[in-house]
Amino acid sequence: MILQNFGTAIRQLREKTGLSQEKFALSIDMDRTYYASVENGKRNISLKNIKKIADGLGVSLETLFQNLK
Amino acid sequence: MILQNFGTAIRQLREKTGLSQEKFALSIDMDRTYYASVENGKRNISLKNIKKIADGLGVSLETLFQNLK
């Protein structure tokens, strides 16, 4: 459940940036298919990669996990 | 840096519970030496295990990541 909720949260934030999955992944130097699988809640992502995504989205970790169960 | 900061944050919250590393790790069914290495900032912990620790500490992920860089 947490993986799906996290994926949904980053998708919403990424869509706000106006970037496609591919362009966003490229901007943070992350493999596009790996990033897509994280948005789809399919990956048990590590803390370093969570931080990389938060930085790319321009939000704090606290904001990223806001209201996230 | 994020791994060390995360380790420090969970150590402070775990100490507030009054439990030793060993007892806390046992309470969340996590290997004691693995948990100790996370507090020491030595492990790139996964989201599922981050959630397990937050649940064990009785805090939300948002609270866990509060002020965490």
Provide the H-helix boundaries in chain B: 2-17, 21-27, 32-39, 47-57, 61-64
Q: Backbone phi, then psi, for B30, in 5-degree steps?
A: -120, 145
Q: How many CB pairs under 8 A join A and B?
A: 51
User: Which domain range does residue B13 map to?
Assistant: 2-65
Residue whose C-alpha is closest to residue B61's, from B1, B13, B4? B13
Q: How far apart are CA B25 and CA B29, in angstroms?
A: 6
- A60 to chain B: closest CA residue: B69
Number of domains in chain A: 1
Q: Domain holding A41: CATH number?
A: 1.10.260.40
Interface contact A65, partner B, CB < 8 A: yes
Q: What pTM value is reported for the model?
A: 0.95
pLDDT, tens digit (0-9, with 9 covering 90-100), for B5-29 = 999 999 999 999 999 999 999 999 9
pLDDT tens column, A1-55: 999 999 999 999 999 999 999 999 999 999 999 999 999 999 999 999 999 999 9
Q: How far apart are CA A27 and CA A34, in angstroms?
A: 14
| Cβ under 8 Å to A: B residues 19-48 | 44-48
Sign (positive/negative) of CA torsion A9, A29, A38, B10?
Answer: negative
